[in-house]
Structure 1
Amino acid sequence: MKHPHGRSSTDTLETVPDSSSPAYASSNPVSRMFDRFASIITRFAGSPVAFGLAVITVVIWIVTGPIFHYSDGWQLVINTGTTIVTFLMVFLIQQSQNKDSVALHLKLNELIASHRAASNGMIGIEDASEEELRRLAAAYLRLSGAGTGNDSKTVGPTEQT
């Protein structure tokens, strides 16, 4: 499918925002670099080594407390450092989360599309509003007989509410 802006899009269902689609990332060098950087940093941030470094940093800060007489400057060092790291990590983790979410949705879409009995109406459902999702969940509960004493195991709505 040809994208309106001239680049080809792998998102033929138009369910993934352009800036999150694989086609966008591969065509934009800054996005590719940021994606690689975010992946490396988030993998490292979740490692035992990173946790160990954080613990060592806090221990060093605590040990230096008496040396600096627990001054305002001493407290400011840890407060500023943790604030900056937290602020930057939010963006890196969100980038990785967005990528993982797109990959998960694509895998689920593939499973839905490959199963004859599944409702293809579920593909792209992540773009629905909260109200639409609640209505759909209620429809599934009705279909499953939940709360009615019905042991029906039918899955998949035949109608969208």
Structure 2
Amino acid sequence: MKKNQKKSASVFEKFASKVTKATGSTPAFLGAFAIVLIWALSGPLFNYSETWQLVINTGTTIITFLMVFLIQKAQNKDSMAIQLKLNELVASHEFASNRLVDVEDLSEAEMKVLQQYYVLLSQLSKKEDSLQHSHSIDEAKETHELKKAIKKKKRKL
């Protein structure tokens, strides 16, 4: 996309992106560690009161609650970007199976069926002498069908 074609991100998206980057940094960790350390060291000053404990519990609960949503938003966006890039790679390669474009939309049962194909491909590749020889899902299926046909023919004889 060209610069002028790019849609501007929403205010929340920009905010979420900046906050997740900032909170995932070393200075943010050191800051959080410093707050916990100051809180722990202030215990004797407040006689380890319930209020003293409530301050850290409430603060960490609120921050954790909000961060879960921000992190999930960031992960969803990253995941979508990765899926789009992978879809582009699959779609652009002439020998790739286009059945894998948008594979993330399949049910878990459908993904397990695809996984079985790849297990078969792995087994086929282990039997090859050359590391450069590869198989496609279709080739594996054709080979399987050919073997079934040969077995059937042998039974008739």
Taking structure 2 as the reference length, the TM-score comes to 0.76
Uncovered stretches (5+) of structure 2, i.e. residues with no partner:
1-6, 142-157
Residue 74 of structure 1 corresponds to: 52
Question: For the residues of structure 2 that align with 1:73 and 1:37, how far apart are their CA atoms?
Answer: 32
Q: Which residue of 2 aligns with 1:94?
A: 72
Give the letter for the 2:127 counterpart.
Answer: N
TM-score, normalization by structure 1: 0.74
| Aligned counterpart in structure 2 of residue 150 of structure 1, from 115, 121, 127 | 127
Write out the 4+ residue segments of structure 1 that deviate beyond 2 Å after TM superposition.
Answer: 148-156
Does the 8 Å CA contact 1:140/1:155 hold for their aligned counterparts? no
| Residues 101-142 of structure 1 deviation map (CA, whole Å, 9 limit, x = unaligned) | 111011101111111110011000011111111111111111
Of structures 1 and 2, the larger Rg is shown by 2
**Counterpart contact for 1:144–1:154, Cα < 8 Å:** no
What do you get for the CA RMSD once the two structures are aligned?
Answer: 2.4
SS for the counterpart of 2:44 is coil
Equivalent of 1:83 in 57, 61, 70: 61
Counterparts of 2:135 and 2:56, CA distance in 1: 53
SS in 1 for 2:10: helix
The amino acid that maps onto 2:54 is L
Aligned match of 1:7: none
After TM superposition, list the pairs within 5 Å mapping 1:7-18 onto structure 2.
none
Taking only the aligned residue pairs, the percentage that are identical comes to: 51
Contact 1:119–1:157 at 8 Å: present in 2 too?
A: yes
